[in-house]
Amino acid sequence: MGNFIDLKAADGFVFPAYVAEPAGRPKAGVVVVQEIFGVNSHIRSVADGYAAEGYLAVAPATFHRVKPGVDLGYSPDDMSAGMALKAAVEALPAPGVMRDLQAAAQHAAQAGKVGIVGYCWGGLLTWRAASMLDGLSAAVPYYGGGMTTPDEVARQPRVPVMAHFGDQDHWISLESVEAFKRAHPEVEVHLYHANHGFNCDQRGSHDAASAKRTRERTLAFFARHLG
């Protein structure tokens, strides 16, 4: 359904983004932020899914500043490679990859209001985007790795946020999720009986019921704030 285009960040850096367009006139734009596995077949299918719902979906390659063309699977070796790439991006001088997310949001804005949704590391970037980027109207982080740490909890979102977490997540403790909820009563937090990565149907941790419920809630949230 979609194809890759080049976008340019404010510092002149050019990077690819997968763009999926709806059949008719888009009702809004959605930035889809990758996991640590690149803009792989799963993330492209997520973007296609938002396009099927009427959104202009833009999935920027957030690893491109450290390595181009990343398209990983979900094996242990892929996990190690993705973790190393994430660490390399996180080590970039500020604002690092946030400039690329801003450029993706600006491209999506041709469709009207813009929401952002991200998964795993992309969930963390989505949480940061909610407090740092211009031109967003809603943000939905899925099991954002690291977003419940004190430094990240200290951020103040500028747009409505809905956050999804799994109560079996061995990367994000329930205690830290509860602390996040106490610090951010304005954020709509949902907890599911599921593990990290439950939305991804290519991972062993996939939970179909939780993935379906989060999708319904996210689409309703976007309909409310992007309409």
Phi, psi of 207 (to 5 degrees): -130, 110
* Spatial contact of 211 and 117, defined as CB atoms under 8 Å apart: no
Of 48, 64, 164, 169, the catalytic one is 169
Give catalytic status of residue 200 as yes or no. no
Of 42, 100, 120, 207, the catalytic one is 120
Give catalytic status of residue 100 as yes or no. no
Give catalytic status of residue 190 as yes or no. no
Q: Mapped to the 3 state alphabet, what secondary structure does 8-60 carry? A: ECCCCCEEEEEEECCCCCCCEEEEEECCCCECCHHHHHHHHHHHHCCEEEEEE
* Spatial contact of 20 and 1, defined as CB atoms under 8 Å apart: yes
Of 64, 107, 164, 196, the catalytic one is 196
* C-alpha–C-alpha distance, residues 97 and 14, integer Å: 12
Q: Catalytic residue positions?
A: 120, 169, 196
